[in-house]
Every structure is written in structure tokens, then in C-alpha cells.
Structure 1
Amino acid sequence: MIFHQIGNGGCQSYLLGCPDKCTAILIDPSLAQLDRYRGLLAREGLTLRYVVDTHTHADHFSAARQLKEDFGVPAVMHRESMAPYADLRLDDGDMLIVGDIRLQALHTPGHTSDSLCLLAGDRVFTGDTLHVGGTGRTDLPTGDPDALYDSLFNRLLTLDAEIHVYPGHDYSGRQSSTIGREMAENPRLQKRERQAFIEMMDRLNLSAPQHMTEALRTNMGGGKTVDQLLAEASARVPFMSLSELRARLGERRNDFVILDVRERASYDTAHIPGARNLPRGQLELRVNHDLPDPTLRIVTVCEYGKVSTLAAATLRELGFRRATALDGGMKAWRELDYPVEEGHGSAWVGELSPEI
């Protein structure tokens, strides 16, 4: 078997490949490691057969949907998963075949209702059901400590003690363990009475994972991450440097507009001399009135350079083919001690029309 464990912070994903049939499966892929997966598949000469999420992740962004689209393979999850992009939904006991590799699905709810583990010969991929030295938490959406007790003590821990455990996260510095070692050494597994285990899980009082709301929104609902939206917008627009814009300030060209897309209060505090203000939230509603000439060269500006990129991409979609975004934002402009104006003065673009 070709085997790669790919770490991304505390998150772990796995590539399993059959060298004879040149096919592979990816388990719990992270969006941050897309290029690495592509490189590994190419280097090993493998064709991707399946991409699997062991559960709906709340702490990182799954790459399953992107890999599905890139490679034309099924995205696999448990049948209770809410992810709309999952094509192949497994029941307990179902098996995936990847060349000579057999992976059996074990439904192990508790961390989430759709949690599953994958048993492949001498190893089991436990997702967030069992960690090295810990277990998945049960205080996030669809978590259930009573169900986790059953999944652990009445399912996973009944496997052969020599089975290797490969978790979806590594918080201990140990990338793998065995069922027997976890039974003997994992602190949470020492609470072997159901009620004692449930009370322990209920008292963990853990902080919410970073990016939890965005991760659940994208992994559960099939939406895009903010970084994805920004990357797509960046690919559709050119940029102008801070120094280039500074040099153009004195040109007074009629076809050149600096468009500040921040809210009015931020614009009034300090803005680039001559800039007009049209907040990003009103752009589509006011663009016909405030920017009637589609041939204008427009440079969008915001505080950090992200909202302005989205605004420039929107303007291009609306037909302003010369729209560009400032590479940076007002924060960087001020740090360079470039000139600014205060108030709205004659540069202010009118308020939202009452007819809209």
C-alpha cells in the first residue's frame, strides 16, 4: 500500500494508494493542502478514485467538493451528512474498494451524527471519534456524548488491540497509536462507566474552534469560503500599486475615478484626495446613478484591500471593463504617509435614492 499522512496544523488527512491498480483514496482532505494532494497523486502515478470526509468538519475547510470537481470522483460521506455535494452516502458496514484496498465504514456518531470511521486492514481512520490521547468533543452541532460512548466502547474499542489508529487530528505529537494503547493510556477512555463518561464530556468546557461558523457553513451547506471568494475575485481583476496611484493624483483626468468603497464614517475620517465614496453594500443599487460612464477607469479602495477586490470584480461583471483594485488599502496608504483628505466635501457621491 502507498500511504501518506498529511498534516495541516492539528488536522490530519490521508492518501492511500494501490500500487498495482494505480488508484487512490483521500480521507479528510483540507482545502489548504490542495496542491500537495495533486503533487502526491502525480508523483506516485495514482488516479484518485474516492474522496471521503469522515464527518462534517467544524474546524477546517474540507477539500472534498473541490477535489470532486477537479478529478471527477465521488465525494463520500455517511448517509446522515447534510453536505449537498456528497454523491456517495454510506451506511454502516458498507465497503469502498480501491484497487486491492478494502475500506469498511463504521458509523460512529457522537462527535457528530454523521461521523464514521474507516477500517482498512491493520489500521482504522477514526476522524474525530477517537484521537491519540483524547476523543472528539460532543458540544458542537449534532454532538451527543451518549452516542459517543457507544461508538467508542461498544464499537471501536472492540477491534483488535493491534489495529493502528490514525485520527483526524493530532494534538499529542503522536501521529498514530493502537487500539490497545489507547485503551490503556487515553485519559478519556478510563471513564468506562457510561454516566461518568457523559459527565466528563459535558464538563470539558472547550472554546469554540477557530472559523467554526464559516467551516460549518461551507462544509455543511456547500458554500464557499471567504478566501475562495477573494481568490476568484483576484483572478478576475488587475491591481494598481500604492505608488502608481500616488503618482496619478495630480493628473486630474476625466476618465479616472478613485472609488472608496468603505462606509461613510470611515471615508469621512480620512480618504485619498479626490476619491468618491460608494459603500460596497450599496454598489449594485447605486452604480447606474453614480457611475453612468462604463468606460471609466476605476480604482477601488477599502481599508485593507479585500473588500475593494470584491468590489472591482463586481464592477467588471457589471460592465466596467477598466475597473481595478488598489493593491493594499487605506491602512497601507496612511503608513506610507501619503496625502489624505477628511470629510466628504465635493467628492461625496449622493445618498441612496429613495426610489431604490
Structure 2
Amino acid sequence: MIFEQIATGGCQSYLIGCTETHAAALIDPEVSQLDQYLALAARDGLHIRYLIDTHTHADHFSGTHTLAKRLHAPVVMHRNSPMPFVDMRLGDGEMLMLGRMRIEALHTPGHTRDSMCLRLEDRVFTGDTLLIGGTGRTDLPSGDPLALHDSLFNHLLKLDPALKIFPAHDYKGRKSSTIADELSSNPRLQYTDPAAFAELMNTLNLSMPTHITEALRVNMSGGKSVSQMLDEAAASVPFMSLAALKARVEQADTSLIVLDVRERDAYEAGHIPGARLLPRGQLELRVNQELPDPTRRILACCEIGKVSTLATATLREMGFAGAVALDGGMKAWREAGYPLKTGSEP
């Protein structure tokens, strides 16, 4: 078996491959690590045939949908997954053929209704069902502490105690454990009575994941996160430095249109001398009136550089091939002590 474990903060992803056929599967990929996964697969000569999520993630952004479009590989989840873009839905005990290897799906609801673990040879990928020294939480959408107790004590923990476990999360730098070790040392697994276990899980009072609403929206719809949209926009546009723009402003360079895409109050409080105001929310509606010549070179700026990056990508999509974004924003411009003009005039 070819095996790679990739950590992204506390998130754990796994690339597994057959040494004979080089067929591979990627388990619980995180969207910010896509290039890393592809580089590892290329290094080992692997062909990624399956993209698997062990459950609907609420605390990070899954990379399965994006990779599926890039690799033309199926997204695999449990039958109960709410995702509309899942290509292959597994039931309890069903298997994927990965070259000479077999990946068996074990339905383990509790953390979410669609949670599953994946058994492969000497190991089990436990998702958020069983963690090292803990378990998945049950207070997120479709969580159920009694279902998690049943999944653990009547199913997962009855497997061979020697099996290694590889969870979808670990925040202490630990890579793996075994079922035997968890049975003996995991504090949550000492609550063998269902009612006592449920009471424990219901009184943990854990804080909500930072991006839970956005993560659930993205992971359940196949849409994009704001961060992903920004990354894609940044990869499609050129940038100009603060110093380069300052030099053009001092030279009164009229070949460059500086377009401030903030709201009017922010613009009037202080803007780059000569900059025009065109708020991002009005860009598409007013662009023909404000920018009639698509051959002009245009630089978009905003407060911290994110909105202007999106605006520049939009301008380039609309045919303004000379559009560039400011590397930084008005905050950095002010902190550098560069010239400002107040009021409604450019």
C-alpha cells in the first residue's frame, strides 16, 4: 500500500494507493491542499480514482467537488449524504475496488447522519466518528449522541483491536492510534452506558466551528467559499505594488485609471489622488458608462485588497484586458504615509 497522511491544521487527509496498479483514493481532502495532493499523487505515479468524504464536514471546506471536476473522478459518500453532486453512494458493508485492495464502508452515524468509516487492510479511517482520545461531537446538524454510542460500541469498537485508526481530525500532532489503545485510554469510551454517554455528549458545551454556516453551504451544495473565490481571482489577475502606483500618482500618469471600488463614505474619507469612485456593487451596471474604452489600463483598489481583486477579475472577464489590482489596499497605503485626498472629487 502507498500511504500519505496530509495535515492541514487539525484536519487530516489521506492518499492511499495500490502498489501494483497505482490506483488511488483520496479521503477527506481539504480545498486549500489540492495542489499538494496532486503533487504527491504524481510523485508516486498514482491515478486518483475516487474522492471520498467520510461525512458532511462543518468545520472546513471539502476539496472533493473541485477535484472531481479537475480529475473527472467520482465523489464517494454514504447513501445518506445530502450532497447533490455525489456520484457514488455507499451503503454499510459495501466496498470500493482500488486495484488489488478493497475499501469497506461502515455506516457509523452519530457525528452526522451520513458518517461512515472506511476499513482497509490493517487500518480504519474513522472520520469524525472516533478521534484519538475523543469522539466526534454530536451537536452539529444531524448529530445524535445515542446513534454515535451505537456506532462506536456495537460496531466500530468490535473490530479487531489491533486495527490502526486514522481520524479526520487531530489537533495535537498525533498521527494514528489503535482500537485497543482507544478502548483503554479514550475518556469518552469509558461511558459505556448509552444514557451516560448521551448526557456527556449533550453537556460538552463546545464552541461552534468558525465557518460553520459557510462550510455547510459550500460542502452541501458544491459551491465556493469566499476564500476559494479570492484565490481563484488572485490567480487570474496581475497586480501592481504600492510603490509603483505611488510613482505613477506623483508623475500624474494619465494612462492609468485608478478605480476605487469602496463605498462612497470610505472614498470621501480618503482616497488616492486622481482615483475615480465606482463601488463594487455597481460595477457591472455602470461599467459601460464609466469605462467606455476597454483598452484602457485600469487599476482597482479597495480597503484591504480583497474586493479589488474580485473586481479586477470581473473587469477582465468583461473584456478589460488591461485591468490590474493593487497589491495591498488603502489601509496599507495610509500606513505607508502615501498621499491622500478627501472629498468627493478625484
Task: Decide: shared fold, TM above 0.5.
Answer: yes
How far apart are 1:250 and its partner, in Å?
4.2
Partner of 2:225: 225
How far apart are 1:39 and its partner, in Å?
2.1
Partner of 1:207: 207
Cα deviation, 1:79-128, whole Å, max 9, x if unaligned, reads 12122322111111110111111111111111111110011122111000
How far apart are 1:196 and its partner, in Å?
0.9
Change (3 A) 1:2 1:250: closer
Partner of 1:95: 95
Counterparts of 1:9-158 in structure 2, within 5 Å, are 9-158=9-158
How far apart are 1:237 and its partner, in Å?
2.2
Q: Distance in 2 between matches of 1:121 and 1:167?
A: 16
Cα deviation, 1:209-263, whole Å, max 9, x if unaligned, reads 2322222222111011222212222233222221221122244455532111111
Change (3 A) 1:5 1:250: closer
Gaps of 5+ in 1: 348-356
Report SS of the residue matched to 2:299: strand
Q: Distance in 2 between matches of 1:174 and 1:251?
A: 57
Amino acid across the alignment from 2:121: G
Amino acid across the alignment from 2:257: V
TM-score of the pair, normalised by structure 2: 0.95
Query: In the alignment, is residue 301 of structure 1 matched against residue 301 of structure 2?
Result: yes
Indicate if the aligned counterparts of 1:262 and 1:280 stay in contact, CA closer than 8 A. yes
Q: Distance in 1 between matches of 2:172 and 2:253?
A: 61
Indicate if the aligned counterparts of 2:9 and 2:171 stay in contact, CA closer than 8 A. no
Change (3 A) 1:340 1:220: same
Q: Distance in 1 between matches of 2:251 and 2:165?
A: 66
Partner of 1:338: 338
Gaps of 5+ in 2: none
Amino acid across the alignment from 2:57: H
TM-score of the pair, normalised by structure 1: 0.92
CA RMSD of aligned residues (A): 1.6
Indicate if the aligned counterparts of 1:96 and 1:103 stay in contact, CA closer than 8 A. yes
Q: Distance in 2 between matches of 1:195 and 1:92?
A: 25
Query: In the alignment, is residue 278 of structure 1 matched against residue 288 of structure 2?
Result: no
Partner of 2:292: 292
Indicate if the aligned counterparts of 1:132 and 1:171 stay in contact, CA closer than 8 A. no
Q: Distance in 1 between matches of 2:36 and 2:233?
A: 23
Q: Distance in 1 between matches of 2:146 and 2:164?
A: 25
Q: Distance in 1 between matches of 2:253 and 2:10?
A: 53
How far apart are 1:36 and its partner, in Å?
2.2
Percent pairwise identity = 62
Report SS of the residue matched to 1:249: helix
